[in-house]
Structure formats: structure tokens, C-alpha cells
Amino acid sequence: MTLNITAVQPEHWKYVSEGGASIVFSYQGPPHPHFDGTVLRLRKIPYNNAPTSATPEVAEEPDDPTIQFQQQIIQRLIPVAHLPRLESVEVQREWLEELQRLADVERPAERRAKDRIDVCRRKAVLATDLVGGNALAVEIKPKWGFLPSTAHLTAATLPIKSMTCRYCMHSYLKAAKGEEVCFDYCPLDLYSGDEIRVRRALNALFDAWVGSSGAINNLRVFAEGTMVKPSLRPSSLGPLAKHFPRSVAEEATLSKLQGDFVAALIPLLLGTPVLRILSTLQRTLDALDIEGLSALWAAAHQSAAVQVAADPASVAVPPLGAGLTEPTIADWQAFLDIFLTKHAQMDHDHPDSANVKYYCMAYILSASFKDCSIILRIPQDGPATVTVIDLDVKPVEKLSTWAKLDAQIVDEYRGIPEPANCVARL
């Protein structure tokens, strides 16, 4: 039987944080066998799409696809010890509207202006609360931890892409568009397994976190379930400093606190297999780079033209992924059966255009691992844990967006006087 959220009151759920598509609350009510130690993750909807009271309710709604995707696909790739427990929970419109009203006080104004809880949903996701309780929790969005396979790069892109990682190039484009970015952070440092480089990555993330007052979202810190909102005033970091008594005793300067914070995370990051697993999955699933995938897509359409005796040169190649249907869970299962048994033996330098759909699915799955977050949870008592979250499946239509963005990122980076050398940052 599915749990029902109306068993507990909306005011017992405390706002934790939100991303672009969902908003998270943690259970802070009286002891409850199902809700203790859990967070509720709800889908959001843009204001201009917000339902009116006339919007009909859906009687039967399937479980949120995240749950099935994690349980049947992701768990075959990442050990369950490093994943949150996910469960479906039934929600109800009046209950969600009340929660929405309560949450508005806590939500950042810029988010509140944009979107709200989708109150027409009948089901939501209940997950392990990784940030609450008597603990320090650190959320890192590590991003792309590899350099692309060079087999399918062109003379115009190979020199750039084999030296500068995707994140560092993308930062340059974002900055050119006026976005706040963290130039000193290179994911290859974080993923390196080398203490000096991991330390440098953490310091860069911390500097950007404080320097941007938390606006750069590659790092988030939660103390006792509340997100720490940094500023250059040392008192803003008080909730974090409490976890490092030494810094408090010695009149915490920002740099001392930063040193303690980084020192606490290093052994966790060097000791966990999670980063290695993520970068291996990202790289293995993205075997062709988006350039190789686009070339294979074009070749597949041209060879289809030959079969109907048309001139392949005259074929208009549709945008990458156009016309592919959204994979079902059964499609993903079948994909993984091949990926886990045959992928390592396939010749990715000379991919067969008959496998174009396989490579498209592989790329889509790699994107989930490029875009997820990890949560390092350090309880006051008990062992620390490292958990991967936000492993949603990406829609097929993203493929053409990614192809365009890749070209734009490389074009913007081409010819800059001092390109970052991400390989040799030692």
C-alpha cells in the first residue's frame, strides 16, 4: 500500500532547498514510523503554467519516474549503499496548497517569483533525509570528470578538447554571458584521487561558495538540516564553525574554518569509490563524445538513404535524436543488458551506424551522471556516508540541445590567449 502524506500535518515539513525542477522538505514532526528521517521531494511548475481551480485532477497517477529509474536502472550501476532510499507517497491538493503557503516565507524571492509546487500531482517522492539531524552535510555538484575520447574529434576541436575540460570551457562561456562562475574549480582535480588536487578543488569550491554568498551552486552546506547561507561576515558561518570546535576556540578566522572544513572532507573523498564510479560511468557511456555521436547519427541517416537508392549527399540529416521515442524502463533494461556485457568489447573508434540508438541512449544516461550531486554526511556520532542524489533520467529532446551547446562552448573557447590546461594542473 502506498503511504499517504495526509497522515501528518504540512507544518511538520520544513523547507530545505530547491533546484530548477523540484523542492525539498524534511520531516520535523512528532515521531512517525514512516516519515522520521525522510525528505519529501515535490515537482515544481512555472507560474505561467500554474493550474487554476478548474484544472481537473488526475485520478490515477503513476509513481514518479525517478523512483523506477533509480530502482531498476541506477541500482545496477551504483551500489545501493551510495544511493538514497526512495519511496512513492500519495499527496493531496489542499495539503500541498497549505505547504506551499507555509514554504513561501522560506523560499528565496527569485525562486518564488518563478515557480511553485505543482499542486495537481497526486504522488511525490519520499527519500532518505541526508542533510537533517545532528550532522554536517555537504552537497557537491562535481560535474564532468573526464576528458573526451579523441577518436571522433576534428582538427578544429581536438587541440582544445584534449587540454581543457568541459566544465572549465563551459565556465568561460557562462562568464562571457555575465553569469557568476567558479574559475578555480576544475572537476578533474576533484576526481583525481590525488590529495593535493582534491584539496585544491575543495578550496576553490569553498572560495566560490563564500565569495558568491552561496549563489554558485556547486557547493551547499547544511548544518543540522538548515542550509548555511555564507557571506563575508564570519558570523554567517557560525552554524558551520560549531562543527569544528577547534576553530571556535581559536577565534575562527575564515581561513582557519576553511582549512578545517577541507580537512574533514578530504579523507571522505579519497576513501569513497563514488567519484571513481561516477567518472567511469560518465566517460564510458559518453564513448564517442557528442561530435562522434552526431557524426554517427548523420551516417545512419545517409546509409538509410542508400538503401532506398537515394543520393546520400542530398539527405537532410535531422537534428540529433529527432524522431527517437522516449525510452521506457524496459528499453533501459535492455540497454543495460548490452552495456554491462558487451560495451567493453565494442570498437568505439569505429562505431557501427546500426547501433546509433544504443549510443544515443548511452549518451543520455551519461548526462544523468554528469549532472548529479553527491552528499557527504558527517554525523556528530556514527560513520560518515557519501550518497549520490538527483539521478533523474534526461529527455531525448536534450540531445540536439547538447550538440548545439557543445559547439557553442568550443567556439567561444577557441583562440583564447591562455586556455586552461586541465590535464597538467599539478
Contact residues for Zn ion (CB under 5 A)?
165, 168, 186, 422
DSSP for 83-108, please give it: S--EEEEE--HHHHHHHHHHHTTTS-
Q: Smallest distance from the beta carbon of 172 to Zn ion, in angstroms?
A: 10
In the complex, least distance from residue 188 CB atom to Zn ion, rounded to whole angstroms = 5
CB of 421 to Zn ion, least distance (A): 9
Which regions of 182-250 does DSSP assign to beta strands (E)? 219-223, 226-227
Q: What is d(CA 318, CA 307) in angstroms, rounded to the nearest whole number?
A: 17
Name the residue nearer to Zn ion (CB basis): 188 or 393. Answer: 188
For residues 199, 200, 206, 208, the Cα torsion angle rounded to the nearest 10 degrees is: -170
CB 223 within 8 A of CB 136: yes
Residues 6+ apart with CB under 8 A from 231: 210, 213
Q: What is the dihedral of CA 413, 417, 422, 425, to 10 degrees?
A: -160
- What letter represents residue 79's amino acid? P
Q: Pick the closer one to Zn ion by CB: 123 or 166.
A: 166
Nearer to Zn ion, 283 or 301 (CB): 283
Cβ proximity to Zn ion, 165 vs 403, nearer residue: 165
Which of 147, 329 has the CB closer to Zn ion? 147
The tally of CA atoms less than 13 A away on the side-chain side of residue 386 is: 21
3-state SS class at 238: helix
Nearer to Zn ion, 121 or 161 (CB): 161
Find the shortest distance in angstroms from Cβ 197 to Zn ion.
Answer: 11
Dist CA 63 CA 328 (whole Å): 14
What is the spatial distance between Cα 334 and Cα 156, in angstroms, rounded to a whole number? 36
What's the min distance (Å) between Cβ of 23 and Zn ion? Answer: 31
Question: 383 is written with which cell numbers?
Answer: 560513520
CB of 178 to Zn ion, least distance (A): 21
Instruction: Give the nearer residue to Zn ion in terms of CB position, either 280 or 400.
Output: 280
Question: Element (H or E) spanning 362, and its range?
Answer: helix 356-370
Smallest gap from residue 165 Cβ to Zn ion (A): 3
Complex with Zn ion: residue 140 or 186, whichever CB lies closer: 186
SS3 (DSSP) at 42: strand
Burial class of residue 140 in the structure, from the number of CB atoms within 10 Å of its CB (0-12 exposed, 13-18 middle, 19+ buried): buried
Smallest gap from residue 109 Cβ to Zn ion (A): 33
Q: Which three cell numbers stand for residue 33?
A: 514510523
Residue 368 near residue 393, CB atoms below 8 Å:
yes
Are the C-beta atoms of 18 and 111 separated by less than 8 Å?
yes
CB of 180 to Zn ion, least distance (A): 18
Q: Which is nearer to Zn ion, 186 or 287 (CB)?
A: 186
Percentages (nearest 5) of helix, strand, coil residues in the chain: 45, 15, 40
Number of neighbouring beta carbons within 10 Å of residue 298: 17
Which of 22/192 has CB closer to Zn ion? 192
CB of 422 to Zn ion, least distance (A): 3
